[in-house]
Amino acid sequence: MLFRIVKKPDHEGIALMAAILIIRISMSEWKSRLADAVRAGEVLAESQENIDLLVKGTSDPLAESAISELVERSEWEEINDRFYKTMAFGTGGLRGRTIGKVVTSVEQGQGGPLDRPEFPCVGTASMNYYNLGRAIQGFIAYVRKHLENTGQDRKPVFAFAQDTRHFSNDFAQYCAKVCADLGCDAYLFDGPRATPELSFTLRALRADAGVVITASHNPPHDNGFKAYFNDGGQIVEPHASGIIAEVNALASDNYEPLPEDQRGKVEVLGAEMDEQYKAKLRTILLRPDLLEGRSAKVVYTNLHGTGGWIVVPMLREMGFEVLTVPEQDEQDGRFPTVASPNPENASALQMAIDLAQAEGADAAIGTDPDCDRMGVAVRNADGEMQLLSGNQIGTLMAWYRIKTFFEQGIITESNRSRATLTKTFVTTEFQTAVAQRFGIGVVNTLTGFKFIGEKLRKYEDAIPADKRGDYRSLSEEETRALRLEYSKFFVFGGEESYGYLGGDFVRDKDGNGSAVMFAELAAYAMSEGKKLTDLLDDLYLEFGVYDEMNTSIVLEGAEGAVKIAALTLSYSENLPTEIDGSAVVKVQDFNKEDIYDEEGDLIPKAGMIVVQLEDGRRFAVRPSGTEPKIKYYLFGKDAPGADDLAASKARVIEGLEALWSWLEADAYRRMDAVVESVAVEGDLGRK
């Protein structure tokens, strides 16, 4: 296979073009105008400092040209948004804009594929080669030190995958090239692949680290660098701090390649790895017999992303008649048919729902661009397509899997203390009620599947070494038996934001595996002569109605970042004693308190507050780690055994709507106070 490694734009022709065609004012002139804008309060002082940092540290010949053009055009807001901070490498890696709100002529260049600019946007707060170069070089430095500290005298091995976003292919190839130049071996997929397949691949190849170039379900202008360690999970402590320190210590993306004979090699991954992954996915099925002779028609959409690569053939092999949405089949980083490529949003699945309705399909399934999240709509008893929330999907799959494990004698009265369901604090307590009814454990983690992955690593490591052997080469039945005897058996894991996991051979949420689990659940419902919505109602009657409302306030750019930080702090420092007519009876502040999970592990500090009200409602507030928004999670419930289930559902929904109405009004009052306070102190950097 012919494979081409592309380089970032550093060739002389582009530099000459920038010098001749773009720079309209001299360096001294644009710097002088920038200084004037800072004195006038139009540009943040931090932005000016970060511009100096980038100009000195980047190898990109276009950077100064783009900055001078923004200055010449007095695009002060754009300058602040691009430079108000340096993009710090966090525990999830990097994520930010690759295309500015304002695109300079030098960035547009000759234009790129699918109407994108030729080059990513310049900025210390942007996703570009400057930040990408620092990230991969720092990551390599840490992995090399880790190998040395553990007595491994060999080349580091990395694996890379990419989604379908703008610049994903360019960024992935660039990272692989840097690895090879600096003496590492690299594996790189021959095209876009799902994030969970990278996690599986890391484990299958025994690689030391990996990266997916993705921004998940973010808008088309974003991209990111999602980092994984040798267990296949996203980086967590103790490695996170070390990697972050190495990356953030680099002020420049420049590097000197090693001599030719010391460099690594880049190998291409393709269909063979796909087949290994698919073979493991089939082991998630608990009752394959349910699929025999019971064909169902489903509509699937990959929302212009990577999911169709695995999901469609897998479902067809399982006996499902699969229709796809033709307009959304093409892998297209513009995501042209949706406002947001996020299966959490009803509008993203609308085309699939419409096709399912027209074709009489039983379900519509959608996954996000990197295929780690799955959303569904199912046909209800009235024949209409009904959307299920992430909490409802997760609860149904958790219930079915726990029930089936008991029915098959895999989990028993004698070993159920070693079985556990893992979820996040902001995921429904419906799942807790189900697990506790079966007598198995529940462990709550912070938001982010990396914390669930961390638990899986803990459970694997707890198996005695002489029993564990080569764990990754064992079958699902063998690893399950080991976990049930010596450690903890992970039955199911999930988060409210449409991420689920049913096995431990992947250490991140898996949209491919979720589709397999959902297909089996649907087949079970059919075998019982029921719709999935009927199963859900059965659970409501048994456990009580649980419902949730997840919403957010979007605050973009430099000014938005100030508001998000101040708003988050205000909840910690000034929380009312009564909210929407109900007394506050419990507050958990994850940034102030030492909070331990159900297994006695200390929860890392986080900017999240969970509030319990006297009337049974509760809510959580936290800033998003990947998007410019502050997120709210509202929870309500009613007693089991309702005589009128519709009325019970309505009561819970009304209570959530009233709570959000109160919280939203309160949030804007708090923000007004923030703006007034910051404006008086002069810290916002705006007139």
User: Would you say 286 and 517 are in contact if contact means Cβ atoms under 8 Å apart?
Assistant: no
| CA separation, residue 1 to residues 159, 531, 663 (Å) | 18, 47, 57
Helix (H) or strand (E) holding 468: helix 465-468
Report helix, strand or coil for 200.
Answer: helix
Our CA angle for 537, 541, 542, nearest 5°, is 115
User: Would you say 170 and 6 are in contact if contact means Cβ atoms under 8 Å apart?
Assistant: yes
Instruction: Give the full edge-to-edge strand order of the sheet including 266-269.
Output: 94-97, 222-229, 209-213, 157-162, 185-189, 266-269
Between CA 403 and CA 195 the distance in angstroms is 29
Report helix, strand or coil for 131.
Answer: helix
Closest CA to 290 of 532, 525, 533: 525
Number of alpha carbons in the 13 Å side-chain half-sphere of residue 480: 16
DSSP 356: H
* Catalytic residue chosen out of the listed positions 216, 487, 514, 648: 216
Catalytic (active site) residue 216? yes
- Compute CA 668 distance to the chain's CA centroid, rounded to the nearest angstrom: 27
Between CA 91 and CA 236 the distance in angstroms is 6
Closest CA to 502 of 494, 516, 492: 492
Helix (H) or strand (E) holding 630: strand 629-637
Report helix, strand or coil for 32.
Answer: helix
Closest CA to 503 of 472, 476, 469, 482: 476
Q: Kindly give the pairing relationship between strand 363-367 and strand 374-379.
A: antiparallel
Closest CA to 539 of 556, 525, 560: 525
What pairs with residue 189 in β-bridges?
Answer: 269
- Residues annotated catalytic, as ranges: 216
